[in-house]
Amino acid sequence: MAPVISFQDVSKVFGSGAGAVRAVDGVTLDIEAGEIFGVIGYSGAGKSTLVRLVNALETVTSGRLLVDGQDVTALGEGRLRRVRAGIGMVFQQFNLLNSRTVAGNVAYPLKVAGWPRERRAARVAELLDYVGIADKAKAYPRQLSGGQKQRVGIARALATSPRILLADEATSALDPDTTQDVLALLRRVNRELGVTVVVITHEMDVIRSIAHRVAVMEAGKVVEHGPVYDVFAAPRERATRRFVATTLKDRPTPEALDRLRHRHPGRIVTVAIRENGAGSGVDVTAALRAHGVDGTIVFGGITELDERPFGSLTLELTGSDAAISALIADLRGRTDVDDLGTAAVAGVRA
C-alpha cells in the first residue's frame, strides 16, 4: 500500500544567511495509512515544523512531500485547500474559540466547509457523543477541564471526516490520568474510523501508550525510526536512550553508579532485557551459572512494551576475570551489555 504521507529528503529552513535555522533537515520517512505514528524529540528538534509541513502551514524549502499521493510542494492554493480538508489537527493549547459554545466550536469547520445548518447540528451531536461530552454542548470552553477541552478539539478536528489526524503535543497540558483518557480516544479514532494518526510528543510514555511506529528527531533530523519496540528495546542513538531512561529509570545515573561502586567492589554491568535478546532475567541467571560467575542484582527495571519484555538489569559480577569476560562476550551475542567496570578500573560505557 502507498504511504499516506511520504517525506522525501525534506528540509525546511527559516531565515537566511548566518541566521538561518534548519528546522527540518533532510528527512526521509513514510507514514502508512491506518497507523499511529509517533514523532518524539526534545524541544526545538523540529517536530512541530515537520507536521506543519504536512498540512502546508509551512512550505517545504527542498525535497518532496507527498500527502495522499499528491506532492504538496507543487500544488496551487485551491488543490492545497482540498488536501488540508482531509487533515485534522489538535493542539497542546486546544485553540478553541472562547466566545463560542462547545457545539459552536465543533460546528465551525462545517460552517466553513459550507454545510447547511440542519446537517451541521446532526453532525455536531454525533461527534460530541463520540468523544463523550454530549452533555457539554452548550457549555463554553472556560467551563471545561483540560481533558474536556481536548475532547472538543478532537471532535472539531474530526468534523469533516479527515483521513489524517495530526496531534501536536495534544496531551502535554494534561495530567497523567487525563492523558491516558485522551490517548484512548485517539486510539479509538484510529481503530474505529481508520484515521491515520500522527502524534508529536516529548513524552516517551505517550509513544509507549499508543504509537505503532516512532521516529526520534534531533536537530531537525530523524535519527532513528521503526516499530516502537525495536527502536526503544534496542536504542542505537543517545537521544533514544535518554527517552527510554525517562520512562523506565532502569539504568543508574552517574551519581547512583558512584554509590553502587562504594557498596559493590566487583565488576558492574548493565544487561538489556528484551525479547530475542538475553530475553529474561532467567536467561541471565543461566548464563551466570554456565560461566561460573556470581551475580548480584544491584539496579534495574523491567516492564512491557507492546506486550513484550523491555528494560535492563544491572549486576555486580564476581568470579575470575577470564570467566567474567567470557560471560560478557556470551551475553553480547544476544543483547546489549554496558560494561561499567569496577571502582578501580572504570569501564567505558558501551
C-alpha cell at 240: 533514544
Compute the distance between CA of residue 65 and CA of residue 54 in angstroms, rounded to an integer.
Answer: 8
Q: Judged by CB under 5 A, how many residues of this single chain contact Mg ion?
A: 1
Q: Which of residues 1-20 bind ligand ATP (CB under 6 A)?
A: 14-15
Report, in Å, the least distance between residue 214 CB and ligand ATP: 14
Whether the CA torsion 331, 337, 343, 347 is positive or negative: it is positive
- By C-alpha distance, which of 177, 182, 176 is closest to 151? 182
Nearer to Mg ion, 48 or 190 (CB): 48
Compute the distance between CA of residue 34 and CA of residue 174 in angstroms, rounded to an integer.
Answer: 26
Compute the distance between CA of residue 142 and CA of residue 88 in angstroms, rounded to an integer.
Answer: 23
Strand ranges for 120-175 from DSSP E: 164-168
- 48 binding Mg ion? (CB under 5 A): yes
Compute the distance between CA of residue 62 and CA of residue 65 in angstroms, rounded to an integer.
Answer: 9
Compute the distance between CA of residue 38 and CA of residue 199 in angstroms, rounded to an integer.
Answer: 5
- By C-alpha distance, which of 284, 337, 342 is closest to 318? 342
Place of cell 551489555: 337
Per-position x/- string for 181-220, each x denoting binding to ligand ATP as judged by CB under 6 A, each - no binding:
---------------------x------------------
Nearer to Mg ion, 48 or 148 (CB): 48
Q: Which does 26 bind (CB under 5 to 8 A by kind): Mg ion, ligand ATP, none?
A: none
Nearer to ligand ATP, 43 or 98 (CB): 43
Q: Judged by CB under 6 A, how many residues of this single chain contact ligand ATP?
A: 13
Nearer to ligand ATP, 44 or 319 (CB): 44
Report, in Å, the least distance between residue 220 CB and ligand ATP: 7
Q: Which does 41 bind (CB under 5 to 8 A by kind): ligand ATP, Mg ion, none?
A: ligand ATP
Q: Which of residues 17-76 bind ligand ATP (CB under 6 A)?
A: 21, 23, 41, 43-49
Strands 294-305 and 87-91 turn out to be unpaired
Positions that interact with ligand ATP (CB under 6 A): 14-15, 21, 23, 41, 43-49, 202
Positions that interact with Mg ion (CB under 5 A): 48
